[in-house]
Amino acid sequence: MSISENFLNEQFIHFVPSIDSWEQAIEKVAKPLLEAEIIEARYVDAMIRIVAEMGSYIVIVPKVAMPHARPEDGALGIGISILKIAQPVCFDSNKKVNIIICLATDDNQRHLSLLQEVSLLFDDDSKVDSLIATNNVIDFVKLAQKYVEEGLEEI
């Protein structure tokens, strides 16, 4: 299962101009996975609880956060959804995020391969900046698919 084939599409990627808090950002990014019945509501609660308890370790590179929880916290399948926020949301006073990726998997083996593909989108600051600069979901999808395809060719 490739993310570019299954999740890099308008169903799982949303743009918003701004959002009030990191908690709302996690709720918003998870919504497509909830609607597709890939996660349960308790998975969203677990992601928020984990960040509240453990801090902003989910900010994986500057401007990008990847909230997630354990499969037993309510992951029913494999999924990725992405939220792009024009005005960054703060996870800590110094960790401003424009792109949030919600990752859900129902088993650890598939989690690793999915994580490897997702990392192809953000393994370079210029890729992050280019994705942030996109003005609409269609352009974001095309660019993200290009990054994944190029990265998979190199592996």
Q: Which domains does the chain have, with CATH numbers?
A: 3-154 (3.40.930.10)
The pLDDT value given to residue 153:
80
Average pLDDT of the chain is 89
Model confidence pLDDT, tens digit, residues 39-85? 999 999 999 999 999 988 899 999 999 998 988 999 999 889 999 99
Query: What CA–CA distance (Å, rounded) separates 125 from 64?
Result: 10
Query: What CA–CA distance (Å, rounded) separates 69 from 63?
Result: 20
User: Residue 1: which pLDDT band, with cuts at 50, 70 and 90?
Assistant: very low
Identify the bridge partners of residue 39 per DSSP, sorted by sequence position.
Answer: 75
Which strand (E) or helix (H) includes residue 16? strand 13-16
Q: CB count, 10 Å around CB of 4?
A: 19
> From residue 49, how far is each of 3, 8, 113, 129, 147 by CA, in Å?
26, 27, 25, 29, 32
Residue 148 has phi, psi (to 5 degrees) of: -65, -50
Model confidence pLDDT, tens digit, residues 92-124? 778 999 999 998 888 777 777 777 888 888 999
Model confidence pLDDT, tens digit, residues 128-144? 999 999 999 999 999 99
Q: Which residue has the higher pLDDT, 18 or 145?
A: 18
Closest of 19, 83, 71, 21 to residue 48, by C-alpha:
21
